[in-house]
């Protein structure tokens, strides 16, 4: 079943000593990309979190927000990042000098910068907390995947309906293509007879003109390729896999073939259906960009 790249999942878990809430949101993106917002005290878990997320989400931009309530470890303490504080201090001095500002740089200024003061938890406390956070993470990802699947089902229905409409119009184009050569032969003969004062056109000349018209307007190969692409498209949207990139490629091929048919066709009714098919393909191309 198709999966949309757009979705949202949220889960809050309570356990002895605290609680955690994880929200995960995904949007369209060509590749997998993740941004995580975690408390400083458990920032070391980001790689573990990313590994689990990437097993569930193959493509899309992921925004994850984790809120933790509680104490991670009994021996939790406040850590000072001296190097970072010195860097901010020197930068502020330089800025004061450049702008001609008065006053001293004090500790109160420095501790407001992110990362200067951070809670530091014992590694043992984080290791004990991880299994609990993992459960919350997997629950929130489950909500996200379900949301993406729901939208994926809607996308499948929409794409299937558009594909059927294209196939119906393609069948009409195929029939019209067979009739147009005969109609051209009849109209050409009548036009020559009218212009020549009722004289019949030479049979050889007529056959040559019709042959040239048929060659220039032959769209049988394009119709065959377009039908094959449509068969491939319908088969692909029913696969249980990450097919977004493949569908995007098929849609490009559909667009190329229908453009060629439009350029070669001289029949008004064929041209009308070509325009309608182009419109459907454009909508398909927009939709597949949202598929994982």
Architecture of the 7-72+124-150 domain: 2-Layer Sandwich (3.30)
CA 105: distance to chain centroid?
Answer: 49
Give the integer Cα–Cα distance in Å for 269 and 68.
Answer: 64
What pLDDT does 182 receive?
A: 55
What pLDDT does 6 receive?
A: 95
Residue 26: phi and psi, rounded to 5, are -125, 145
What pLDDT does 109 receive?
A: 73
b/e sequence 266-283, b meaning 16+ C-beta within 10 Å: ebeebeebbeebbebbee
Residue 148: Cβ within 10 Å count: 24
pTM: 0.69
What pLDDT does 115 receive?
A: 72
From 275, 274, 280, select the one nearest 176 (Cα to Cα).
Answer: 274
What pLDDT does 215 receive?
A: 54
Q: Average pLDDT by consecutive 10-residue portion of the chain (292 residues)?
A: 94 91 95 93 91 94 94 61 83 82 76 69 75 96 96 96 95 77 52 53 57 61 92 93 93 94 80 94 95 93
Do 177 and 223 form a contact (C-beta atoms < 8 A)? Answer: yes
The ranges assigned to domains in the chain are: 7-72+124-150, 78-110, 153-288
Q: Which residues pair with 77 in a beta bridge?
A: 120
Give the integer Cα–Cα distance in Å for 135 and 131.
Answer: 6
Can you spell out the DSSP letters for 192-236? HHHHTTSPPPPHHHHHHHHHHHHHHT--HHHHHHHHHHHHHHHHH
């Amino acid at each position: 079943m198709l999966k949309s790249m757009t979705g949202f999942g949220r889960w809050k878990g309570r356990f002895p000593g605290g609680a955690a809430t994880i929200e995960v949101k995904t949007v369209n993106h060509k590749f997998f990309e993740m941004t995580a917002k975690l408390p400083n005290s458990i920032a070391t878990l980001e790689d573990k979190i990313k590994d689990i997320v990437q097993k569930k989400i193959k493509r899309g931009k992921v925004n994850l927000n984790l809120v933790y309530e509680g104490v991670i470890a009994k021996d939790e303490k406040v850590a000072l990042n001296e190097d970072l504080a010195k860097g901010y201090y020197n930068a502020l001095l330089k800025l004061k000098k450049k702008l001609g500002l008065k006053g001293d740089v004090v500790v109160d200024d420095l501790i407001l910068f992110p990362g200067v003061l951070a809670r530091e938890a014992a590694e043992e406390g984080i290791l004990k907390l991880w299994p609990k956070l993992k459960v919350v993470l997997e629950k929130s990802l489950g909500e996200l995947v379900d949301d993406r699947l729901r939208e994926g089902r809607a996308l499948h229905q929409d794409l299937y309906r558009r594909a059927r409409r294209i196939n119906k119009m393609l069948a009409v184009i195929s029939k019209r293509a067979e009739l147009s050569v005969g109609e051209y032969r009849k109209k050409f003969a009548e036009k020559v007879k009218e212009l020549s004062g009722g004289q019949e056109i030479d049979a050889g000349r007529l056959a040559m003109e019709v042959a040239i018209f048929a060659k220039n307007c032959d769209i049988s190969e394009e119709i065959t390729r377009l039908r094959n692409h449509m068969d491939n498209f319908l088969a692909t949207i029913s696969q249980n896999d990450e097919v977004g990139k493949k569908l995007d490629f098929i849609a490009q091929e559909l667009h190329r073939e229908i453009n060629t048919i439009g350029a070669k066709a001289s029949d008004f009714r064929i041209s009308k259906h070509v325009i309608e098919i182009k419109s459907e393909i454009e909508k398909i191309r927009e939709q597949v960009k949202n598929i994982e």
